[in-house]
């Protein structure tokens, strides 16, 4: 039987394939860094799986936000992403209602540092920050500043150092 994460990942790729293939690469990177940071931080395996699902779906609201509002700024993509998660995830019987609520809430708040702490999705928050820095959403010369302000996990700080500050 195909693993739940693989099925959701495949669906995400099908969703973006006609829209923006670059989003697939971004999402794969965020997913992989989320998985790595969660493992290195000792996140409990079931919670880590939910974080992986949220990482796969974290930007799923971008196309809908662009269509509806003309842009995919964070509040709009988060709102649309949470809605899409609540539409899609009930199709996966392995996920409980509480799991669906958690993943949808994370996707609907994934740019907010205070929510990353409250909902305990720091690995996803830090992974997205790392990939966004690589992709030029922030200037590389701000890496040290971003690390100090927004990277709180030991694993995230170590990875930031490896990637940007050595």
* Percent of residues in the chain assigned helix, strand, coil, to nearest 5: 75, 0, 25
Instruction: State yes or no: pLDDT of 18 exceeds 90.
Output: no
Mean pLDDT of 138-152: 96
Supply the CATH classification number for the domain 4-165. 1.10.3210.10
> Going by C-beta distance under 8 Å and a sequence separation of 6 or more, which residues neighbour residue 84?
57, 60, 61, 64
Least confident of 20-24, 27-31, 52-56, 153-157: 20-24
Q: Say how far apart CA 144 and CA 96 lie, in whole Å.
A: 39
Work out the mean pLDDT of the chain and round it to a whole number. 95
Residue 53 near residue 39 (C-beta atoms within 8 A): no
| pLDDT for res 102 | 98
Residue carrying the six token digits 């293939």: 21
Residue 27 near residue 16 (C-beta atoms within 8 A): yes
62-69 helix and 74-88 helix, angle to the nearest 10 degrees: 120
The residue ranges of every structural domain in the chain are 4-165
C-alpha distances (whole Å) from 31 to each of 36, 135, 147 are 9, 15, 20
Instruction: State yes or no: pLDDT of 1 exceeds 50.
Output: no
For the stretch 71-127, pLDDT in tens is: 889 999 999 999 999 999 999 999 999 999 999 999 999 999 999 999 999 999 999
For the stretch 52-68, pLDDT in tens is: 999 999 999 999 999 99
pLDDT category at 20 given cuts 50, 70, 90 is confident
Residue 83 near residue 61 (C-beta atoms within 8 A): yes
Residue by residue, DSSP assigns 30-77 as HHHHHHHHHHHTT--HHHHHHHHHHHHHTTTTHHHHHHHHSS--HHHH
The torsion region of residue 55 among left (phi > 0), alpha (psi -120 to 50) and beta comes to alpha
Q: Say how far apart CA 70 and CA 57 lie, in whole Å.
A: 20
């Amino acid at each position: 039987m195909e693993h739940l994460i693989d099925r959701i990942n495949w669906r995400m790729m099908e969703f973006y394939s006609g829209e923006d293939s670059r989003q697939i690469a971004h999402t794969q990177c965020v997913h992989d860094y989320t998985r790595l940071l969660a493992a290195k931080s000792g996140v409990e395996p079931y919670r880590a799986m939910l974080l992986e699902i949220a990482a796969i779906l974290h930007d799923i609201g971008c196309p809908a936000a662009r269509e509806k509002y003309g842009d995919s700024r964070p509040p709009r993509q988060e709102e649309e992403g949470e809605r899409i998660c609540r539409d899609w995830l009930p199709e996966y019987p392995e996920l409980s209602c509480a799991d669906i609520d958690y993943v949808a809430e994370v996707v609907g708040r994934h740019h907010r540092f205070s929510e990353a702490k409250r909902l305990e999705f720091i690995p996803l928050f830090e992974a997205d920050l790392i990939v966004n820095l690589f992709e030029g959403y922030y200037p590389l010369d701000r890496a040290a500043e971003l690390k100090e302000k927004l990277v709180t996990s030991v694993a995230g700080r170590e990875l930031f150092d490896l990637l940007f500050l050595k």
